Amino acid sequence: MTNNKFVINWIEEMAELLEPSEIMWITGEQSQLDQLKEEAIKTGELILLNQELHPGCTLHRSAVNDVARVEDRTFICTEDKEDAGPNNNWIAPEEMYGIIKPIFKGAMRGRTMYIIPYSMGPVDSPYSKIGFEITDSIYVVLNMDIMTRVGRRVLERLGESEDFVKGVHSTAELDDKKRYIAHFPEDNTIWSVNSGYGGNVLLGKKCFALRIASHQGKNEGWMAEHMLILGIENPQGEVKYIAGAFPSACGKTNLAMLIPPEVYRKKGYKVWTVGDDIAWMHIGEDGRLYAINPEAGFFGVVPGTNEKSNPNALGTMEKDTIFTNVALNLDNGSVWWEGLDSNPPENGEDWKGDAWNGKTSKEKGAHPNSRFTSSARNCPSISPHWEDPQGVPISAILFGGRRAKTAPLVYESRDWQHGTFLGATMASETTAAIIGDVGVVRRDPMAMLPFCGYNMGDYFQHWLDMGGELGDKAPKIFHVNWFRLDENGDYMWPGFGDNMRVLEWILNRCENKVDAEEIAIGYIPKAEDINREGVEEEVSLSKVRELLKVNKEEWLEDVENIKEFFKPFGDRLPVEIKDELNKLEENLRN
């Protein structure tokens, strides 16, 4: 497959360690992938669904002890502990290799070692990166084919270069006590063992595209961010692009695939999906910030996805999709999950494969973290520019969280430095869906806390440095909160497609078409500038004013919470971020 001596030497070293019975290079040819899929169906690794209802679709069940990312078993291994930072679990590289190599030794005896050459980003983009994943799982091979660009063309692009990320994975014995997801950013290496769950084993995703790439971006002058990318086309055919970071349970995929309200659609507005999860951003030749989606597919959570919440996601899943840990309807060979509709199968199997009657069982049919893997090409709203090699120019960056009261519906930062502070202090409140106390504030800077591959204090500095390079061409930065509650505990904002109304104001601000009011925390809209056409009764002008209110006492409590959160970063926290925190407190006390 390749004459690249760096690749060949590494493959030989791994084969000696893993001791596979066979070795297979993944070429990217459909015939090979079809053959592997058939093999996985025969062994039960995949279950073939009703091909009339779900053409090309299969179901996978992971081990019961292996259903989500394991943050306590995920490590950043740098020579200096401070370089990993308080945001990461750290073990020195030499020590981690000493722990993990014996687990990998002979792990593929009696198994096939699959070698997947893949590209994060369009193969012809100057901003893409090449990786290899060695795995013993056909599930991983088929998912990586959807999520990345794989095969011979990737090897051609790499040529003789040694600039590639080395990833090795084995399901081994699925022993959760010997489960490790170890990243070696200084070696461009990822080792994952004893897991079969996508978030831990699709090494191109969070492992490479965020943890390793964020480290690369810091060193090379670009940004790897946990952000969606969407385009908004106005009736004149002009498209402006927005990138947005949101913690889990904040509607990120729904926003990426947003369908505008009817009043907008009738006027000719369209929303285009470029990416739903990760953005790699760089400064273009014209000095503006551009973003590519490094992924080629979606690995999305399915519970709660339905015709109201995200019809474009449902459309994406209609064909050639791998479902993971959802319920199976035995009567018609289809899948079901909580929140899809009110008609669960009575003769079914739950995500564990146990007999399940959705009408009578108190147990959930689908795991709360059940997933779908689908090609971005399947998405009805996919942008015609989603694979542009240069990426798309970003006009605005959004940070969001789930706050019952403190954060207003939308506000704008004063400048890039202040915007970096908004990202650094992003937070959500826990809900009943999360184990623990309800209403506890959890900080998740830029939605990157579990994914930043180095010290987050240095990460904030990198943001500030990028802003300095962008100068007056930097995108404007905003914070949004769709989840404000009234005194009865009901959501005040309709959300979903109606979030378009806030995005319209944001783009109007980017083009200096509307004014804003400066308050202690930044700039807020004038209530009348939020378009309420079609929802005047549901969203009264007084309700918009309420959504934009800022309670200084609540915010001063938040300031104390932020101070506690920042403490572990010590001297690595940039002085500019400290200045912004002091400025916020001073503004609130005046």
Half-sphere exposure (Cβ direction) of 7: Cα atoms closer than 13 Å: 24
The answer to whether 143 is annotated as binding is no
Query: Nearest Cα to 420, choosing from 454, 471, 464?
Result: 464
8 A C-beta contact, residue 296 and residue 336: no
Cβ density class 367-387: b for 16+ within 10 Å, e for less: bbbbbbbbbbebbebbbeebb
Residue 516 among known ligand-binding residues: no
**DSSP designation for 354:** -
Q: Which helix (H) or strand (E) segment is 315 a member of?
A: helix 311-316
Strands (E), 432-475: 441-443
Q: Which of 321, 569, 568, 349 is nearest to 459 (CA)?
A: 569
Apex 455 CA angle, 450 and 456, nearest 5: 65
CB 460 within 8 A of CB 573: yes
Q: Is 88 annotated as a binding residue?
A: no
Indicate the burial class of 434 (C-beta count within 10 angstroms; 0-12, 13-18, 19 or more).
middle
- 199 labeled part of a ligand binding site: yes
Q: Give the rounded distance of the alpha carbon of 464 from its chain centre.
A: 22
Residue 226, annotated as binding a ligand: yes
Between CA 108 and CA 140 the distance in angstroms is 15
**Residue 125 assigned ligand-binding role:** no
Contact 60, 324 (CB under 8 A): yes
Structure tokens at 387: 């694979």
Q: φ and ψ at 199, to 5 degrees?
A: -60, -20
Answer yes or no: is 69 a known binding residue: yes
Q: Is residue 42 marked as binding?
A: no
Say whether 566 counts as a known binding-site residue. no
Say whether 339 counts as a known binding-site residue: no
Q: Tell me the two tokens of residue 577.
A: 């971020």
Q: Both tokens of residue 352?
A: 């564990």
The annotation status of 343 as a binding-site residue, yes or no, is no
Helix (H), strand (E) at residue 544: helix 541-547
Q: Is 2 annotated as a binding residue?
A: no
Using DSSP bridges, classify how beta strands 322-324 and 58-60 pair: parallel, antiparallel or unpaired: parallel
Q: Which are the catalytic amino acids?
A: 250
Coil vs helix vs strand at 225: strand
Give the CA count within 13 Å in the CB-facing half-sphere of 423: 29
Phi, psi of 190 (to 5 degrees): -135, 130
Does 254 count as an annotated binding residue? yes
State yes or no: 291 annotated in a binding site: no
Q: Does the annotation flag 489 for ligand binding? A: no
206 marked as part of a ligand binding site: yes
Question: Is 452 annotated in some ligand binding site?
Answer: no
Q: Name the burial class of residue 163, with classes exposed (0-12), middle (13-18) and buried (19+) by CB atoms within 10 angstroms of its CB.
A: exposed
Find out whether 198 is annotated in a ligand binding site.
yes
Give the C-alpha separation, 210 to 223, whole Å.
Answer: 9
Residue 586 to residue 579: CA distance in whole angstroms: 10
Does 252 show up as a binding residue in the annotation? yes
402 is in an annotated binding site: yes
Q: Establish whether 197 is an annotated binding residue.
A: yes
Rg value, the chain, Cα: 24
On whether 157 is known to bind a ligand per the annotation, the reply is no
Residue found by looking up tokens 């081990």 in the block = 63
Can you tell me the distance from the alpha carbon of 45 to that of 35, in angstroms, rounded to the nearest whole number? 14
Q: Please report, in range form, the residues annotated as the binding site for Mn(2+).
A: 206, 226, 277
Q: Please report, in range form, the residues annotated as the binding site for substrate.
A: 69, 197-199, 248, 369-371
Q: Please report, in range form, the residues annotated as the binding site.
A: 69, 197-199, 206, 226, 248-254, 277, 369-371, 402, 496-499
Q: Please report, in range form, the residues annotated as the binding site for GTP.
A: 249-254, 371, 402, 496-499
